Amino acid sequence: MSEIINLKEIKRQVYLHYSEDGLVDLAIGFVIFGFGALLLADVPALIGILGLIPFLIWYLGKQYLTLPRVGSFQPDQETRKRLSGFFIYLFTSGIGVLVLYLIAARSGSYQLSDYSLALFGFVLALAISTLGLLMKTNRMYYYAMLVFLAMAIGETLNKTNDIVDYYLLSVIIAGSIIIFAGIIVLSRFLKKYPVVSLEE
C-alpha cells in the first residue's frame, strides 16, 4: 500500500523505466567508437555524421523497441521545466567551454594544447555525468570516468611513441565497452518487458 502512496517512488519508477532500455548507452558508445574509428581511418570529414547517430538510435529504438513495450507518457509540467532547464544549461556550458578553449588556445597563455585531448575527454565526461544525474543512472558516471581515462591515458601514451596511435585506440576500446554494456542493458529490457498486445 505504502508504495502506491509514495509519489516520489512512483515518479522515480516511471522515469527509470525509460532509461532501462539502454538506448542512451548505445548512442554514447557509438558516438565515442565512431569518433575513434573515423579518425583512425583518416576520414575526419565524416565526423559530423556522428551527431546524427544519437537521434537515429533514439528515434528508431523508442519507436520499435521501447514504446510497444512500456507505452508512452507526457511528463508533468515540473519535469518538463527541469528538462528544458537542463538542455539550456548543457548548451550554454558547451558553448562556454568551447569559447574559453578557443580564447586560451589563441592567446597561448595556457599550455592547453599539450592536454587538449584529455581536456576534450573531461568535457565529454562532464556531459555524460550530467546525463547520469538527470536520468538518475549510476552507470553513466562509470562511462564518464572511462571516457576521460581513455582519452587522458591515450594522450599521455602518445607522447612517448610515434608508432601506434594509443589515443584513438583507447577511444575505440572505451566506445566498444559502452556499446557492449548498452547491448546487455537493452537485452535485459527486452526480456523484462514483452510487447504489450492491445488485442483482448
Partner 1 sequence: MADKKDQDSNVNVKINRLVHEPARLKILAYLSVVESADFVFLVSRIGLTMGNLSAHVSKLDKAGYIRVKKEFKDNRPHTMISLTEGGRDAYTQYRKEMLQLLQE
**Per-residue string for binding with partner 1, 45-84, x by CB under 8 A?**
----------------------xxxxxxxxxxx--x----
Nearest approach in angstroms of CB 14 to partner 1 is 6
Nearest approach in angstroms of CB 90 to partner 1 is 23
- For residues 115 and 143, the answer to whether their CB atoms sit within 8 Å is no
Own/partner pairs, 34-42, CB within 8 angstroms, 24+ separation: 34/175, 35/171, 35/175, 36/168, 36/169, 36/170, 36/171, 36/172, 36/174, 36/175, 37/172, 37/175, 39/168, 39/171, 40/165, 40/168, 40/169, 40/172
Query: Does residue 191 interact with partner 1 by CB under 8 A?
Result: no
Nearest approach in angstroms of CB 195 to partner 1 is 9
* Residue 17 or 139 having the CB closest to partner 1: 17
Contacts of 48 (CB under 8 A, 6+ apart): none
SS3 of 4-22: HHCHHHHHHHHHHHCCCCC
Query: Does residue 134 interact with partner 1 by CB under 8 A?
Result: no
Query: Does residue 87 interact with partner 1 by CB under 8 A?
Result: no
d(Cα 19, Cα 40) in Å, to the nearest integer?
A: 31
Nearest approach in angstroms of CB 133 to partner 1 is 20
Pull the grid cell for residue 86. Answer: 537542463
Query: Does residue 10 interact with partner 1 by CB under 8 A?
Result: yes
* Residue 6 or 113 having the CB closest to partner 1: 6
Residues touching partner 1, count (CB under 8 A): 28
Stretch that binds partner 1, among 4-12, 85-93, 107-115, 170-178 (CB under 8 A): 4-12
Residue 179 parent element (H or E): helix 166-192
Picking from 22, 31, 36, the residue whose alpha carbon sits closest to that of residue 54 is: 31
Nearest approach in angstroms of CB 187 to partner 1 is 18
Query: Does residue 198 interact with partner 1 by CB under 8 A?
Result: yes
Nearest approach in angstroms of CB 186 to partner 1 is 16
Q: By the criterion CB under 8 A, which residues form the site for partner 1?
A: 1-2, 4-5, 7, 10-11, 13-14, 17, 67-77, 80, 193, 196-200
